[in-house]
Every structure is written in structure tokens, then in C-alpha cells.
Amino acid sequence: MPPNNFISSFRHILTLFKKDLLLEIRQQYSFYGILLYIGATIFVLFMAIEEPESKVWNGLFWVIQLFICINAVAKSFLQENRGRMLYFYSIASPVAFVLAKLLFNSLLMLVMSLLSLLLFTLFLGNPMEKAGQFIGLVLLGGWSLSLVFSFLAAIAAKAQQNAAIMAVLGFPIIIPQLILLMRLSNAAFAPLLTIPLTTVLLLIALDAMIILLAVILFPFLWKD
């Protein structure tokens, strides 16, 4: 790619990212709605089980992360109407558009992941043996989940807003990532276990594959 085209694409990505960020700041009801969901869910868990053992704590945390991601990220493409998409089609490339969405959703999910971890620790205790490593896994896991559901939301939005496609396509994609995340996070609760670097690299490779798929496939959906 020529340097001028690269710079132009980067500017488009940054502009589209700023657009999504400003919309989220102005439409704060969606952000606070997700915060309400996180707080209410964790409070219900606190009232029901108070301080669960580490395996239960870990399992509940990732289940809530999954639902947070669905609520926070999946709407990003589905909320774009046809007229707005035609406008974006005229001013930006499909690669710039999808990368801007992936970037914004990643940032949103990282913030939500840290907030949910903070509330989990405050209400349900802190059974982590390796807190620093687990925080790193939470950030990596939140990024991974946001990439998957952003990609699926892009497909669903172009398939006549058929959100059921997310469930059909998402299951075989999200399961391997959840398995890897559970294996990695279990080591953070056991003092004698170490987090395997190969598993971390495998998870990062899956994330890179999803980004590559989005860059390759979204231009074909964009023309529809």
C-alpha cells in the first residue's frame, strides 16, 4: 500500500473511531444501561452466594463477561441504518470502517471488563492468587470477545438485520476462545500452576485471525 493511501486510511479509521466515541458519550443511556446490568447481576450473586470458591468465582465472571460483550458490542453494527451505511460507503473504505468498529468495541469492552472485575472483587471477594496476571487475562479476554462479536455483528447487520445469525455462527467461534480463557484463568487461582505462554500466543493468534477475516470478508458484505 502506498504511503499516502496508508495515511489516508489511518485518518479515516481515526475519524470513524472518534464518531463512535462521541455518539457513545452523547447517548449515555446505553453505557449506563450496561453498567446497571453489571451492578445488578453482581449484587444478585452477592445476595445469593456471598463469597464463592475460586472455581465458581472464575466461571461466573466469564459468563457475565460474555453477556456484557453481547450487550455492549453486538449493537455497534446493528444500530447503523441503511442511509447512514450508504453515507459511510461514499466517504470511507470498508477496511477502514470495520477496523474503526473493532477498535472502538475493543476499547469499550476493556473498560467494561475492568469495571466488572472491580465490582466482582468488591462484592464477591478476591480469591485470585495471581491478581496481576489475571487482570492481564481479563483485558486479553475482553479484547478477544469484542473482536468475535464485532465480526459477527457485522455479518448479521448486512444479512437484513438478522441477529439470529450471530447465535448460529458465533457458537463454533466463541467456544474455542472461552476454553482457552478458562484454562488460562484457572492458573491464576492456583499458586502452583503457571500460565502457559503457548496458550496465550494461541489466543492472540485466534484474535489476529478474526481481524484478518473481518478485513477480507467485510468488503464483500459492504457492497451489498
Question: In the prediction, which pLDDT does 213 show?
Answer: 87
- Amino acid identity, residue 88? F
The set of cell numbers assigned to 33 is: 444501561
pTM of the model: 0.85
Q: What is the pLDDT of residue 160?
A: 61
Residues 183 and 200 sit within 8 Å (Cβ to Cβ): no
Long-range contacts of 30-38 (CB under 8 A, 24+ apart): 30/75, 33/71, 34/68, 34/71, 34/72, 34/112, 35/115, 37/67, 37/68, 37/71, 38/64, 38/68, 38/112, 38/115, 38/116, 38/119
Q: What is the pLDDT of residue 184?
A: 84
Amino acid 94: pLDDT: 80
pLDDT tens column, 38-88: 888 888 888 888 778 888 888 888 888 888 888 777 677 766 666 676 777
Closest CA to 200 of 174, 181, 179: 181
How far apart CA 90 and CA 93 sit, in angstroms, is 8
Query: pLDDT per residue over 113-127, tens digit each?
Result: 899 989 888 888 888
Indicate if the pLDDT at residue 24 is higher than 70: yes
36-50, 98-112, 117-131, 185-199: range with lowest mean pLDDT: 185-199
**pLDDT tens per residue, range 141-184:** 889 888 888 888 877 776 665 556 666 777 777 888 888 888 88
Q: What is the DSSP letter of 117?
A: H
Average pLDDT, the chain: 80
Rounded to whole angstroms, how far apart are CA atoms 156 and 148? 12
